Amino acid sequence: MIGDLVAFLLVYSCALASAGQTPFFLTRDPVLSPHVDAFISGILAEWNTPGGVSVAVVQKHGDGTWSVETKGYGNASADGRQMTEDSLFFIASNSKLFNIAATGLLISNESLSRRISWDTKIASIVPEWELKDPIASSQSTITDVMSHRTGLPRHDLMYGRTDNVTSILKRLRHLEPSAEFRDIYQYNNNMYMLLSYLPELLLPHKPSFARYVKEHIFEPLGLTSTTYSLDVAQASGNLVQGMARDGINKTENIFGRGTPRAMWHPNWFLSGGEDGNYKAGAGGVISSAKDAATWLQALLEDGRNPVTNESVIPPYVIEKVATGKTVQTGYAFVPILSHDVL
Ligand SMILES: *[C@@H]1O[C@H](CO)[C@@H](O)[C@H](O)[C@H]1NC(C)=O
Ligand SMILES: *[C@@H]1O[C@H](CO)[C@@H](O)[C@H](O)[C@H]1NC(C)=O
Ligand SMILES: *[C@@H]1O[C@H](CO)[C@@H](O)[C@H](O)[C@H]1NC(C)=O
Ligand SMILES: *[C@@H]1O[C@H](CO)[C@@H](O)[C@H](O)[C@H]1NC(C)=O
Ligand SMILES: *[C@@H]1O[C@H](CO)[C@@H](O)[C@H](O)[C@H]1NC(C)=O
């Protein structure tokens, strides 16, 4: 688990650095130099991890060309498979960005018989929708549910193995809010399950959310290894394993080496193949550093395929999903990432 978490912190923190405006980064020298390779390998060794990380760095140069670097470090499985740029990770809640980009595609779809907007009230489009707080229930818009401000706290223990999106939606009305509508930020996965219901609800051919995203985002952007399907990821031979360490004395050294043991995949109990399952919208994407690089380029190119320059996600959708709505904490959670330091 820690292995997975660190991988994505590294992938995304490097990505953020390269997206910055600092001219220092806009060189043709590789960012993943032998020096950086040694630094990353040093961290893996220092943490005694049996696992590894993969990293993607993208840089756009002044003449419009790109440098793209992707690499794997350490091991991807308990039996010693090497981490590579193609290793596939569960990207967990980074999946939410694909969900709201897909919502933006529905909003921009001019051939929908019932057009929707960011301000469309959920109550007007989702028959199963009802919240205990009557104001939140009638007033919540797509922007509100995207922005974690309905007043409902996580309530993540209310769903289980046999659920589906509609069974979960029908339960929301019984859950206690813990804040007033639009008052504060309270992270909520259920609202991203709700958003993942929209393609099926609004399109005449009722595609599953996972197929909709595959057809309209993964494929046109060239995210060829990215999938919502555990079966597809496993068949590729590239799926990484979360790893636990057995037999360490936690009092002595919580980062002791121990004996590596492969762990269950998150959501191992959910199937659905390429149709996905109820967790797809909140956290179902499985992807690689190579595809993460393409996704980052597409985001920095206003939603265009970085190779063909074809527009896949309209620029105003990219702008909307990249614009803050709710303040999570008013100060930098990690001081080194604060505005003053950057
Ligand atoms: C990684 O796997 C190799 C075998 O491919 C093994 O020799 C090595 O000890 C593993 N590294 C760690 C840190 O477990
Ligand atoms: C737009 O809507 C039409 C039908 O109304 C549907 O066939 C098409 O797949 C939709 N496209 C997107 C990107 O939502
Ligand atoms: C969703 O789950 C409920 C409760 O388990 C079940 O009654 C319903 O048939 C399921 N719906 C779908 C579409 O599978
Ligand atoms: C773990 O380490 C502590 C501190 O060295 C020691 O007191 C304890 O007996 C050890 N526990 C086991 C189960 O070995
Ligand atoms: C890509 O498309 C955008 C928007 O149409 C355009 O401004 C840009 O010049 C194009 N870039 C290339 C390299 O063709």
At residue 6, the pLDDT reads 33
Lowest mean pLDDT across 19-23, 113-117, 215-219, 243-247: 19-23
Q: Is 207 in the pocket of ligand 2 (CB under 6 A)?
A: no
* pLDDT tens for each residue of 135-169: 999 999 999 999 999 999 999 999 999 999 999 99
Q: Is 108 in the pocket of ligand 2 (CB under 6 A)?
A: no
Taking residues 254-262, what's their average pLDDT? 92
**Comparing C-alpha atoms, which of 6, 70, 94 is closest to residue 288?**
70
Q: Is 288 in the pocket of ligand 1 (CB under 6 A)?
A: no
At residue 272, the pLDDT reads 85
Whether 286 contacts 228, CB under 8 Å = yes
Q: Is 105 in the pocket of ligand 2 (CB under 6 A)?
A: yes
Kindly identify the ligand whose nearest atom is closest to the C-alpha of 112.
2
Residues with CB under 6 A from ligand 5: 64, 304, 309
At residue 264, the pLDDT reads 86
Chain position carrying tokens 């909140």: 282
SS3 143: helix
At residue 333, the pLDDT reads 77
Provide, for the chain, the percentages of residues in helix, strand and coil under a 3-state DSSP scheme, each rounded to the nearest 5: 40, 10, 50
**Comparing C-alpha atoms, which of 129, 97, 138 is closest to residue 194?**
129
Reply yes or no on whether the pLDDT at 8 is more than 70.
Answer: no
Q: Is 94 in the pocket of ligand 2 (CB under 6 A)?
A: no
- Give, for ligand 3, the residue of 166, 208, 209, 278 to mutate: max count of ligand atoms closer than 8 Å to Cβ: 166
pLDDT greater at residue 270 or residue 322: 322
Compute the Cα dihedral for 127, 159, 322, 86 and give only its sign. Answer: negative
Reply yes or no on whether the pLDDT at 125 is more than 50.
Answer: yes
Take atom 6 of ligand 1 and give the residue whose Cα is closest: 80
Taking residues 192-200, what's their average pLDDT? 98
* pLDDT tens for each residue of 296-320: 999 999 999 999 999 999 999 999 9
Q: Is 22 in the pocket of ligand 4 (CB under 6 A)?
A: no
| Ramachandran area for residue 148 (φ above 0: left; ψ -120 to 50: alpha; else beta) | left
**Comparing C-alpha atoms, which of 284, 218, 220, 225 is closest to residue 54?**
225
Taking residues 197-218, what's their average pLDDT? 98
Reply yes or no on whether the pLDDT at 231 is more than 80.
Answer: yes
At residue 26, the pLDDT reads 57
Rounded distance from Cα 46 to ligand 4 centre (Å): 22
Take atom 10 of ligand 1 and give the residue whose Cα is closest: 80
Backbone torsions φ then ψ of 274, nearest 5 degrees: -75, -5
Reply yes or no on whether the pLDDT at 20 is more than 60.
Answer: no
Taking residues 246-270, what's their average pLDDT? 89
- Residues 6 or more apart whose Cβ sits within 8 Å of residue 42: none
What radius of gyration do the chain's Cα atoms show?
21
- Residues 6 or more apart whose Cβ sits within 8 Å of residue 280: 95, 196, 209, 210, 228, 272
At residue 331, the pLDDT reads 79
pLDDT greater at residue 5 or residue 41: 41
Task: Name the pLDDT band for 25 (thresholds 50, 70, 90).
Answer: low
At residue 330, the pLDDT reads 81
- Domain chopping of the chain, boundaries: 2-97+209-341, 113-202
Structural element, H or E, at residue 142: helix 142-146
**Comparing C-alpha atoms, which of 78, 37, 43 is closest to residue 55?**
37
Rounded distance from Cα 70 to ligand 3 centre (Å): 42
pLDDT greater at residue 78 or residue 3: 78
Kindly identify the ligand whose nearest atom is closest to the C-alpha of 315.
5
Taking residues 85-100, what's their average pLDDT? 97
Take atom 14 of ligand 4 and give the residue whose Cα is closest: 249
- Long-range contacts of range 154-163, CB-CB < 8 Å, 24 or more positions apart? 154/186, 154/187, 154/188, 154/189, 155/188, 155/190, 156/189, 158/190, 159/190, 159/278, 161/269, 161/270, 163/278
**Comparing C-alpha atoms, which of 271, 265, 259 is closest to residue 239?**
265
The pTM assigned to this predicted structure is 0.90
**Comparing C-alpha atoms, which of 314, 297, 315 is closest to residue 306?**
297
